[in-house]
Amino acid sequence: CTGFISCPDYLSGFGNEFSSEDPRCPGALPKGQNSPQVCPYGLYAEQLSGSAFTCPRPTNKRSWFYRILPSVRHKPYTTVDNGNLTETWDEMHPDPNQVERDGECVCLCGLHTICGAGDTKTRNGISIHMFTCNTSMIDRCFNNSDGDFLIVPQQGKILVTTEFGKMMVEPKEICVIQQGMRFSVDVFGDTRGYVLEVYGAHFELPDLGPIGANGLANPRDFLTPVAWYEDREVANGYTVINKYQGKLFSSQQDFSPFNVVAWHGNYTPYKYHLSNFMVMNCVAFDHADPSIFTVLTAKSTRPGVAIADFVIFPPRWGVADHTFRPPYYHRNCMSEFMGLIEGHYEAKEEGFQPGGGSLHSMMTPHGPDGACFEKNSTAPLKPERVAEGTMAFMFESSFSMAVTKWGLETCQKLDKSYYKCWEPLRKHFDPNWRPKRITT
């Protein structure tokens, strides 16, 4: 589809064995084999591996491209300025305090690392970035050799062109660009959002356990682009930016990398609309743990422990009896980064802005602010809509994340008074309290 914006097509499913060919070249996929002596239409066969060759079948990830020119035809890589993208976690002294930054941030275009931990060289870790841009990538693309990007647009839609095809991604949608996949982004005005990067693992759907076969993020709602190619020579050079071991490099070539006429495999980019999430929640009493809202998880080698979980807090019904319904006060062995796409977060309705973020580090106390506690301790417990018009989310990680110098200082948007939202909490203890007698 040459007029892609008006007629998007996708393949439905999560982790499926897909195949797709551009309708302009029917029969471009080889029959019965991956690498024939001569490919249809004179194409080159190229495999993209997202796992070791010998991984068990359930975790073995790879796709085959049939492209006009192979990606190996490029000039040598040279280093480029990293800007505010970093993997240096000791820039600042460790700080266990609750951290919140305002939504508005005036800064140069690109990726800006807020926090993270781990190491790309050992393939074990996580980074959280903000992205801001107002200009499309013209004759430029990005390739992440270090890990997977989970992209959460907050303001402005983005058109993501990949070697697999194109995806239009709007606020309240997410997309995942897995390790090694080249992509370019077109924007339609001032655009910003969040990026969760994981090294050494791919995102997958969480296990459902006693929930059963259906619920949370259903596989059918994940969408993968269909094949689309351009056979375009670039006289002034096409730039491929490669993130490798936390540093940026660029190489030049004289053709568009989006020259894949057909492809097949189970290692693909994909997108998902958060409104499709089938919410599970308490219908009797008490507050369920936020893990019940997990959309995607990147597992560690320890059972039940994630490198990163992507969790959302969507509109839903609150019906619990005899219960303080907002999130409980908490100290956690995990790190929690909160973001807000739109609306007002239920546990802190004032001050936490769309486009902002907060980090509650390991074992640092957090929970509802004073106003939220007082309001919900006396509110009538009738069925009510919670988070209507709101979409908040959390990146939760088993890593103890460090905040970068950009996140703490350079951006100049750190809310140093964040702790004051809990100062109105007052003592309610009454040693003479007795349970009410129930008379018949």
- DSSP string computed for 334-379: SEEEEEEEES--TT--SS--TT-EEEE-TT--B---HHHHHHHHHS
What b/e string do you get for 247-277 counting C-beta neighbours within 10 Å, with b at 16 or more? Answer: bbbebebebbbbbbbbbbbbbbbbbbebeeb
Query: Is 345 labelled as part of a ligand binding site?
Result: yes
Residue 436: both structure tokens together = 């009410």
One-letter amino acid at 251 equals S
In angstroms, how far is the first alpha carbon of the chain from the final one? 73
CA distances from 288 to 217, 283, 291, 299, 370 (A): 17, 10, 8, 21, 21
CA 364, 368, 371, 376 dihedral sign is negative
Query: Is 336 labelled as part of a ligand binding site?
Result: yes
From the list 273, 287, 322, 360, the catalytic residue is: 287
- DSSP string computed for 319-332: --BSS--SPPPB--
Is 112 tagged catalytic?
Answer: no
CA distances from 302 to 59, 148, 306, 307, 398 (A): 16, 20, 8, 10, 10
Residues placed in the known binding site for homogentisate: 345, 366
Residues placed in the known binding site: 330, 336, 345, 366
Residues placed in the known binding site for Fe cation: 330, 336, 366
Catalytic residues: 287
